[in-house]
Chains A and B, each alone.
Chain A
Amino acid sequence: MYQLAANILKYVLLLLIYLFLYRVFKIIYLDIKGVRREREVTKAKLVSLSGMGSFNLFEVTTIGRADDCDIVVENPYVSSKHAMIRKKGKKFVIQDLNSTNGTYVNGKRVKNIARIKNNDVIKFGNEEYRFLI
């Protein structure tokens, strides 16, 4: 009886292991592909309220002090990887990346992820931007 179960489950387990592997490799694939797709420009943009210009948003946009962020903010109160704005379906969300000084939407601190609407004011540290679609 055990033998029957073990024999059948042998194939089930192997199947699951390879399903797992498939997903793992899919993640890698998405990683590579995602990097490209994330570069697609959307209609939304951030307009700096301190006159530093306006920036078009991508599918995934990183904001921070580091050079390889999509929007580089040279401000000591802004962390190197401060926040990320993502397009989710038709809407946009903003995620704080554990920044030191926090991300604020209309004055309220973003705990992790928050949805943003047209005309919302977003603050990174002490830098403010308006979100426009």
Chain B
Amino acid sequence: MEEYVKTGSKAMKDIFLIFVIAFMLLFIYHKPKGFDTIYFTLAFLPLIYIVYYLHVRLFPMGEIQLIILSSFLAEMGLIMIYRVAPDLILKQIAWIFIGFILYFVSSYVSKYYDFFYNVKYGNYVYLAISFILLFSTFVLGKEIGGSKNWLTFGSISVQPSEIVKIIYIIFLARYLKDNKTTKDIIKVGAITIVIVGILVIEKDLGTALLFYLTTTFMIFAATSSLLYTTASVAFLGFGGGISYFLFNHVRVRIQAWLNPWMDVPGKTYQIAQSLFAIGAGGFFGTGLGMGHPEYIPVVASDFIFSAISEEFGMLGSVAIILVYFVIMYRGIKVALDAKDDFGALIAVGLTSMFSLQVFTIIGGVIKFIPLTGVTLPFVSYGGSSMVMSFITLGMLNGIAVREDEDVEQYEPQH
């Protein structure tokens, strides 16, 4: 046990060191605009220190690794964001701060996850909320970066679909725990397809895919049925094929994936520049500040992985993939150790959604699969993504330390 704790704190010390060294370089490379920038950036260190010890105290049986891993990813994100867009760093730190807070909040809430189960008419409530949120962008939404699923309030943009992800998972877990007949599965399938359809029309193909596959995996976990799984995958292929012909934006993405060099100045610009960057990085990378990640478009959010590949090399980018792998492992562990099916299903859903998102964005920027507009959790610049990722991990932590609601309060005798 001792070694366990010691290794954990050593890992945190590694995170400190990496941060300090990287920013030593970065502050030379991009002179900070004011002392504020330095203070708030360095404030990251005490922040994760506090979060770490708070977590050990509050959740002794909890998933401390989630904090360690998300701190590492957040720090890599901060390093890269300061490298390519120093003006964005303060906002990102603010989001990380909010994210950690929400982590603890959602942990506490999820500790009592039975609550979610016991909401009257829960299924309908969750579905209603989901659809309202999704339709809100349909009606009021702004198109940013090629997909119309943002709501703007002044200078802050949020993606309601991120919230829907979690609510929908809770809905599915609740539904699938009790209703596993074929009719039920078809009903759930239909609802999912409607949601996916909305997202496809809004051109948020990545999120659509995530919803679809997460639902498939949750159904598989709940029913063990290969039939549903194969049917689902087949339908995915079929649907994909149809949308290729139906929707121009789908067609363009797939063509760009198959031949990224066909229109480098135009349609395939993004993926081409991403590949140049990854190629330039080689094995060890060019070194911080020595590469040219500024040639990559959308580099602070979607393509941040390519920037990391360029300056930290393949070794760096593989390390990041491994970190996500471990997060996935811990999520699965939470699911396996969960006390009941409901908790397990939520954990499966959260882990699936999270892991699929990571696979989708990394796969897209390295041209393993067609490009989609999802973000890299904790690393990409962006509030909604950061917050939702922390909430996801927070919920996993909560499920892990699940407490019964009904422990009677004991009055001490004197």
A residues with CB within 8 A of B: 2-3, 5-7, 9-14, 16-21, 23-28, 30-31, 34, 38, 59-60, 65-66, 76-81, 84, 86, 88, 95, 97-102, 112, 125-126
Contact = CB atoms under 8 A, between A and B. Distances in A.
Contacts of A23: 7-8, 10-11, 14
Nearest to B410: A101
B15 A81 contact: no
A98 B25 contact: no
Interface string B274-308: 00000000001111111000000000000000000
The 9 residue pairs across chains A and B that have the minimum distance between CB atoms: A101-B410, A10-B287, A20-B14, A23-B11, A6-B287, A100-B407, A77-B410, A76-B408, A79-B407
Given A10-B286, A23-B10, A84-B61, 10 more contacts: A6-B289, A12-B21, A13-B288, A18-B319, A76-B406, A78-B407, A79-B403, A98-B58, A101-B409, A102-B412
Q: Which of B7, B15, B28 has the most CB of A within 10 A?
A: B7
Interface stretch (B131-139, B165-173, B321-329, B346-354): B321-329
A20 B72 contact: yes
B1 A60 contact: yes
Contacts of A78: 407
Contacts of A25: 326
Interface stretch (B141-149, B309-317, B355-363, B374-382): B309-317
Given A2-B289, A7-B287, A24-B323, A16 B69 contact: no
Contact of A30 (B7, B28, B29, B288): B7
B183 interface: no
A59 B4 CA distance: 14
A23 B284 CA distance: 21
Contacts of B61: 81, 84, 97
A32 B18 CA distance: 28
A14 B312 contact: yes
Given A11-B284, A100-B410, A27 B65 contact: yes
Contact of B11 (A3, A7, A24, A59): A24
B29 A2 contact: yes
A94 to B, nearest CB: 12
Nearest to A8: B287
5 contacts: A10-B287, A24-B326, A27-B8, A100-B410, A101-B409
Given A14-B284, A17-B316, A24 B410 contact: no
B21 A16 contact: yes
Contact of B25 (A6, A88, A125): A6
Given A21-B319, A100-B409, A34 B290 contact: no
B290 A126 contact: no
A76 B406 CA distance: 8
B21 A13 contact: yes
Contacts of A38: 1
B198 interface: no
A76 B407 CA distance: 6
A14 B407 contact: no
A6 B326 contact: no
B12 to A, nearest CB: 9
Nearest to A109: B412
Interface in B386-407: 401-404, 406-407
B68 interface: yes
B2 interface: yes
A99 B320 CA distance: 37
Contacts of A16: 14, 17-18, 21
B407 A24 contact: no
A127 to B, nearest CB: 10
B141 to A, nearest CB: 39
A12 B289 CA distance: 15
